[in-house]
Amino acid sequence: MSGHSHAEGVLPHEPEKATLEGRNKVLGFWLFLGGETVLFGTLFSVFIALRDQVNGGPTANELFSLPVVAAATLILLTSSLTSVFAIQAMHRNQTKATVNWLVVTVLLGLAFLGLEIYEFVEYAHHGHTFAASAFSTSFYSLVGFHGGHVAFGILWISLLIWQVLRRGITLHTAPKVYVAGLYWHFIDVVWVFIFSVVYLMGKVG
Amino acid sequence: MTAEHAAAAEQPKKRVKHEGPKKHIIAYIFSLVLTILAFAVVVTGEVRASFVYAMLVLMACVQVFIQMAFWMHMKDRGHTFPIIGILSGVVIVFTMIIMAVYWTWW
Amino acid sequence: MAHGSHAVKRYKGILDWLTTVDHKKIGILYLLAGGFFFLIGGLEAILIRIQLWKPMNDFVSPDTFNELITMHGTTMIFLGVMPVIFGLMNCIVPLQIGARDVAFPFVNALGFWTFFFGGLLLNISWLTGHVPDAGWTSYVPLASTTFSNGPGVDYYVLGLQISGIGSLLGGINFLVTIINMRAPGMSFMRMPMFTWATFVTSLLILLAFPALTVGLVALMFDRLFGGNFFDPSAGGNIMLWEHIFWIFGHPEVYILILPAFGIISEVVTTFSRKRLFGYSSMVFATVLIGFLGFMVWAHHMFTSGLGPVANALFSIATMLIAVPTGIKVFNWLFTMWGGSIKFTSPMLFAIGFIPTFVMGGVTGVMLAAAPADYQYHDSYFVVGHFHYTIVGGLVSGLFAGVHYWWPKIFGRKLNETLGKLTFWFFIIGFHLTFFVQHFLGLTGMQRRIYTYLDGMGFNEMNLISTIGAITMGVGVIFFLINVIVTSAKPRTATNDPWEDGRTLEWAISSPAPEYNFAQLPLIRGYDCYWKEKMEGNREMQPAEPLGPIHMPSPSILPFIMSVGLFIAGFGFIYHQHIVAAAGLAVTLICMMLRSVIEDHGYHIEPEEIQAKGVKA
């Protein structure tokens, strides 16, 4: 039932779902993402309720610069695709390609994070600090929670890269990589709503 | 346990067809186009704000649907409970958005 | 076979309990810790009632009274009854579905320890002298720094945040266990009602607790980092907190009551010695209550000025819940109808539950009428209502469940005489305490007020209420005596100590062996053990040959991770951000260790199982 009941060296087609432990992990993570949906949904609804309350500070329209947001969006979207390639390489049992695609994903994630930090520092210079207004507090909470998820994902996937390098793709490492891939896609999905609702709608209003 | 053994034993004999990158790249291009469209509507659009809002939400939903179906494999078999989990989350988020829009300020 | 490659780690004594990942031991830990916090909450309730027994009493100061009501509500709901529910789920659900373990034993342990240290953090506030005092709902602006300066409310925010992580983890664990780990033949529509209730409850936990997480984070940001979510002077909105709290808070009350419904269904069928009436309608009603539970949160806010449209919508949605609940009540009655009923102590609690809960439901429908609610709002009528559902309903249900499953968990049957004494003192005391509170409310007594004037017509009813509360306390003391007396007895409980067990947990020894089932059973129908008994089989049919059983290794990491969160909580409360960061670092490092150290557990060999007297 567990890992070692399979012959050495032969991995099933989808190694992440070959063991009960793996299937449990994938399903449990999906359900966790259901909870994360509510978590971000609550943050979104709070932001929507408070986004016009600028308290005399800069409005969303004055503040946001779309080129930076577009660049961040492109980076994160591409990183989601590279994590798909990593999983596909894992299914083909190509350790090296898996690691390479994961490294690309992490690098793109770091670029995104750097861009976000740059953006936040810029906003703070314009008086848009965390404690400035209800708008700023809810903005930093929503986008910051997402950024925190990106940072956690970078640490997590880096740790997994190290494990795959040491142990190769096994029935134990495969579910971990697959689940981290799901997590990374979810981060991108949340970002789609962030750039639509926070940034683009902010530019319209 | 026995079923898993059998499945594992069959693996080397049967030639497994791995899915290629093609449809994922198509999903990427679709996402890219939808993103560019969303930005374009805002940058160039002189239409009414409510229409732009609706367009933005619609395009975001389509893009997320594509990504979840293909990249997160939600369209594949065996994803009943993931779909139930995510959809119940979405229903609750929907009520919360209504709350935020209609029942916070009066 | 290639296993057995590394040594089995086994700890003894206290370290065994700190490192255990066995769901049955974690269940016992939940019962112990939940029982402990339940006693603290009960003590606070008695102190509240002593303060209110006569007009203008000065037994406690107004400030202390505020702290008492806040901590009573918070402790009872989050640290008292929820852990006891989790305890029963842990002990029973894997046995009911024929699983050897839960899906995530490590996460299960982590869930317990985060709950425990969150609860500890909250209650340590009594020792530091800064006790939360803004009510269990912690409404802003009362809970904001303007009106609640000092660390009191921060204990509430961080204590609940940490214990909330535990609830979320527990919910995911049970969902995956029930979806993925049912024994062969155990289809969804053959699952016992308690397992169904656990399933729906876990889904509610999964979807409701993240909202609380965000709410508490927002309150924490406002209080500690100068955020403006709920500060109207900087554009914030106080209604947001009420909405977020109740979007979580209303599903929470169904998280509490659905498991009780499940327990009552089990107890009523067993001791009526009849199949549950309307099983599929029962399942349907459980799911429907779960769904509707999310759509009614604003009925707590009728008087906040939502407007007639919202009030009407939430009124109707709330009244709709009476329909599935009514289905359940009638199903229990029809199950008992024509059954050969045994009046054991769990059955007494179950029979007491039904009319009591119906009364709580009826006042619920009264409160659901928005115009009438303007009259009842924040009065003792509301206090009476929710204690009828939570104490008369849920706590009765938990007592029924604890008496019913005690032999399966501990291997000893509780004393029946003491159990019946517990029941009579508890139920009489309960109705004395809370029935009069409806009328106190209708006469105009407000909740959360520390005293009242003479000559308002409140004196006699408050005295009756206090006497009732003490009577309930006596009932609980009988239960404690029962526990102590029973623990001194030898473990003599048979597999099926009530002799009428219907579900799978009664097919194995009491207490269950650490691997639960030597061979996974084949489930051939609803009430599977009863079915085998009716066909003359003394045991379940095995679905697999005897083989080595995989077991997870014990681990101290869940404990250390929770200690890290506990330290971080303290750091945040007292603005020592280095301490907070250190605590979080401990937790994060433990997470990394958990990922990096591959521990595949160990196996119990068939010879070892046979040595314990299991036939191959």
Judged by average pLDDT, the poorest of A95-99, A127-131, B75-79, C38-42 is B75-79
Q: Do C176 and A130 touch (CB under 8 A)?
A: no
CB A184 within 8 A of CB A79: yes
Q: How far apart are CA C579 and CA C494, in angstroms?
A: 51
Query: Hey, is the C-beta of C224 within 8 angstroms of any chain A C-beta?
Result: no
Please check the confidence at residue B12 and state whether its pLDDT lies above 60: no
Q: How far apart are CA C543 and CA C566, in angstroms?
A: 45
Q: What is the pLDDT of residues C392-401, one digit of tens each?
A: 999 999 999 9
Q: Do A137 and C180 touch (CB under 8 A)?
A: no
Q: Which helix (H) or strand (E) holds C550?
A: strand C549-551
Q: Which helix (H) or strand (E) holds A46?
A: helix A20-50
At residue C8, the pLDDT reads 65
Q: What is the dihedral of CA A97, A103, A105, A110, to 10 degrees?
A: -170
Q: Are residues B10 and B45 in the same domain?
A: yes
At residue A3, the pLDDT reads 40
Q: What is the pLDDT of residues A43-93, one digit of tens each?
A: 999 999 999 999 898 999 999 999 999 999 999 999 999 999 999 999 999
Query: Hey, is the C-beta of C176 within 8 angstroms of any chain A C-beta?
Result: yes
Domains along chain A with CATH numbers: 13-204 (1.20.120.80)
CA C55 from centre of chain: 35
Q: CB atoms < 10 A from the CB of C605, how many?
A: 16
Q: Do B96 and C305 touch (CB under 8 A)?
A: no
Query: Hey, is the C-beta of C238 within 8 angstroms of any chain A C-beta?
Result: no
Residue of chain B minimizing CA distance to A73: B35
Q: Do C211 and B96 touch (CB under 8 A)?
A: yes
Q: How far apart are CA C141 and CA C65, in angstroms?
A: 19
CA nearest A77: which of B37, B34, B90, B40? B34
Count of domains forming chain B: 2
Q: Are residues B67 and B15 in the same domain?
A: yes
Q: CB atoms < 10 A from the CB of C118, how many?
A: 26
Q: Are residues B90 and B54 in the same domain?
A: no
Q: How far apart are CA C41 and CA C541, in angstroms?
A: 45
Query: Hey, is the C-beta of C103 within 8 angstroms of any chain A C-beta?
Result: yes
Three-state DSSP class for residue C551: strand
Q: How far apart are CA C276 and CA C335, in angstroms?
A: 6
Q: Do C209 and A23 touch (CB under 8 A)?
A: no
Structure tokens at C390: 């939570």
Query: Hey, is the C-beta of B45 within 8 angstroms of any chain C C-beta?
Result: no
At residue A64, the pLDDT reads 93
Q: Which fold has domain C13-555+599-611?
A: Cytochrome C Oxidase; Chain A (1.20.210)
Residue type at C357 in one-letter notation: F
Q: Are residues B54 and B83 in the same domain?
A: no
Query: What angle do helix axes C322-336 and C279-292 make, rounded to 10 degrees?
Result: 150
Three-state DSSP class for residue C12: coil
Chain C residues in contact with B86 by the CB 8 A cut-off are none
- Pick from B57, B59, B96: which is nearest to A42 by CB? B96
Q: Are residues B69 and B81 in the same domain?
A: no
Residue of chain A minimizing CA distance to C551: A2
- Pick from A3, A134, A172: which is nearest to C229 by CB? A134
Residue C585 half-sphere exposure, CB side, CA atoms within 13 Å?
7
- End-to-end CA, chain B: 61
Chain A residues in contact with C596 by the CB 8 A cut-off are 159, 162-163
Residue type at A53 in one-letter notation: Q
At residue A12, the pLDDT reads 83
Exposed/middle/buried for C446, CB within 10 Å: 0-12, 13-18, 19+? middle
Q: Are residues B102 and B56 in the same domain?
A: no
Is the CA virtual torsion B69, B72, B76, B78 positive or negative?
A: negative
Q: Are residues B60 and B89 in the same domain?
A: no
Q: How far apart are CA C173 and CA C394, in angstroms?
A: 23
- Pick from C179, C295, C544: which is nearest to B95 by CB? C295
Residue of chain A minimizing CA distance to C549: A1
Say which residues have a Cβ less than 8 Å from residue C464's Cβ, sequence separation at least 6: C432, C436
At residue C2, the pLDDT reads 40
Residue of chain B minimizing CA distance to A35: B89
At residue A1, the pLDDT reads 39
- Pick from B2, B88, B103: which is nearest to C306 by CB? B103
At residue C1, the pLDDT reads 38
- CA distance, residue A32 to nearest chain B CA (Å): 8
The structure tokens 């492109």 sit at A74
Q: Do C595 and A176 touch (CB under 8 A)?
A: yes
Q: Are residues B69 and B84 in the same domain?
A: no
At residue B15, the pLDDT reads 56
CA nearest C185: which of C533, C481, C524? C524
Q: Are residues B60 and B97 in the same domain?
A: no
Query: Hey, is the C-beta of B106 within 8 angstroms of any chain C C-beta?
Result: yes
Residue of chain B minimizing CA distance to A34: B86
In terms of pLDDT, which residue wins out, B104 or C527?
C527
At residue C10, the pLDDT reads 76
Give residues 2 to 31 of B whose Cβ lies within 8 Å of A: 4-5, 7-9, 11-12, 16, 18-19, 21, 24-25, 28, 31
Q: How far apart are CA C261 and CA C347, in angstroms?
A: 13
Mean predicted confidence (pLDDT) in B15-44 = 87
Rg (CA), chain B: 21
Give residues 83 to 112 of A whose Cβ lies within 8 Å of C: none
Q: Are residues B42 and B85 in the same domain?
A: no
Q: How far apart are CA C105 and CA C9, in angstroms?
A: 15
Q: CB atoms < 10 A from the CB of C538, how many?
A: 9
CB C88 within 8 A of CB C177: no
Q: Do A28 and C176 touch (CB under 8 A)?
A: yes
Residue A146 half-sphere exposure, CB side, CA atoms within 13 Å?
31
At residue C318, the pLDDT reads 96
Is the CA virtual torsion C269, C273, C278, C283 positive or negative?
A: positive
Judged by average pLDDT, the poorest of A80-89, A97-106, B46-55, C60-69 is B46-55
At residue C117, the pLDDT reads 97
Residue of chain C minimizing CA distance to B1: C544
Taking the model in full, what pTM does it have? 0.94
Query: Hey, is the C-beta of A24 within 8 angstroms of any chain C C-beta?
Result: yes
Q: Are residues B70 and B85 in the same domain?
A: no
Query: Hey, is the C-beta of C215 within 8 angstroms of any chain A C-beta?
Result: yes
Backbone phi and psi for residue C257, each to the nearest 5 degrees, phi listed first: -85, -30
Subunits that touch chain C (at least 3 Cβ pairs < 8 angstroms)?
A, B
Query: Hey, is the C-beta of B89 within 8 angstroms of any chain C C-beta?
Result: yes
pLDDT band at B8, cuts 50/70/90?
A: very low
Q: Do A24 and C176 touch (CB under 8 A)?
A: yes
Per the structure, the complete domain to which residue B23 belongs is given by 2-75
Q: Collect the ranges in chain C with pLDDT lower than 70.
A: 1-9, 612-616
Write down how long chain C is. Answer: 616
What letter would DSSP give residue C379?
Answer: B
Q: Are residues B71 and B83 in the same domain?
A: no
- End-to-end CA, chain A: 57
- Give the domain ranges of chain C: 13-555+599-611
CB C438 within 8 A of CB C484: no
pLDDT band at A205, cuts 50/70/90?
A: low
Q: Do B103 and C295 touch (CB under 8 A)?
A: no
Q: How far apart are CA C89 and CA C85, in angstroms?
A: 6
